[in-house]
Amino acid sequence: MALLTGKVAVITGAGRGIGREEALLLAKHGAKVVVNDLGGHFDGTGQSRSPAEDVVKEIRSAGGEAVANFESVTDFKAAKRIIECAIDNFGKLNILVNNAGILRDRMMFNMSEEDWDAVISVHLKGSFNLARHATAYWREQHKAGNVLNGRLINTSSDSGILGNAGQSNYGSAKAAVAAMAIIVDREMSRYGVTANAIAPIARSRLTVDATPQTAAGMAQRPGEWDAFTPAHVAPLVVWLASDDAKDVHGEVFRVGMGNVWLMRGWHTGSKVSKKGSMWEPAELGTKLKEELAKGVTKKESMGEVMGGGA
């Protein structure tokens, strides 16, 4: 059953990996797709038109409709042109998937300002740029009586929601885009828009080329089920983009390996209280250590959850 017939989608970073699989499956389900990709390397350097153009060719050869776009998500004005590309070519915009990303891993004490700024610019500012223009468009259309039921899907990461050493720039940005989705949903739900985030576990340039230490664990083994193919991520994105997900608001999903986890972010795991007088620091510390020893605030790590499961 085609879930997205008549819809128009923009997917950033759609020339390879996760974005490519999302673009192909959205098109298969009837969406007209703007395939945006600057075509750079995993660290953000260079550019090429081939990745986006190749995905467009795949979609068209399968009978779908798509156009390529090569603008950089880091440029505020260029981001508006990406949104306008959908409207100019297909008459409207219903779906925005913020997927573009780069990686420049360093331990905090070795990280340069350039490495920090480049990663934050693509992931966080890039997601803002696209979301800013898309939400303004959806709000204007809604006020004019043209309800488009906009869908914003941000791409977070395990590094953002669980934490990972060596990725303070990437993880900080990915935590922020998850929070952005929650906040934008609260702002835009009155206009028929939903905003959610996904944290994929999949083989991509960011998990293989940029981090070769993970490549062996994610490699497809001959004759075995491919647990880490990015194709496992796309069905969730298609569903979140559909009318069937109209009541899904401000959620964060971890997805991959045939699993979808509904994540819960910052929440109270325990509490200590004192009324009638101020805490003394040592007294407070004693109480907090008692709570920490109970294990109720223990956090999952990426290593503990990479094995899959429910």
Q: Are 46 and 40 in contact (CB under 8 A)?
A: yes
Annotated active-site residue 112? The verdict is: no
pTM of the full structure: 0.90
Query: What number of other Cβ atoms are within 10 A of residue 195's Cβ?
Result: 28
* pLDDT tens by residue, 147-195: 999 999 999 999 999 999 999 999 999 999 999 999 999 999 999 999 9
- Which is more confidently placed, 98 or 299? 98
> Which of 157, 168, 204, 242 is an active site residue?
157
Structural domains present in the chain:
8-263 (3.40.50.720), 270-310 (no CATH)
157 is catalytic: yes
Rounded Cα–Cα distance for residues 36 and 190 (Å):
28
Instruction: Tell which residue, 59, 58, 79, has the closest CA to residue 69.
Output: 79
Task: List the catalytic residue out of 72, 170, 204, 242.
Answer: 170
Mean pLDDT (whole number) for 107-123: 97
Confidence of residue 209 (pLDDT cuts 50, 70, 90): low
Burial class of residue 53 in the structure, from the number of CB atoms within 10 Å of its CB (0-12 exposed, 13-18 middle, 19+ buried)? middle
Q: What pLDDT score does 34 carry?
A: 98
Q: Which of 121, 168, 174, 242 is catalytic?
A: 174
Contact partners, residue 211, CB within 8 Å, separation at least 6: 103, 105
User: Is 143 known to be catalytic?
Assistant: no
Sign of the CA dihedral 298, 304, 305, 309? negative
CA 128/CA 258 separation, integer angstroms: 30
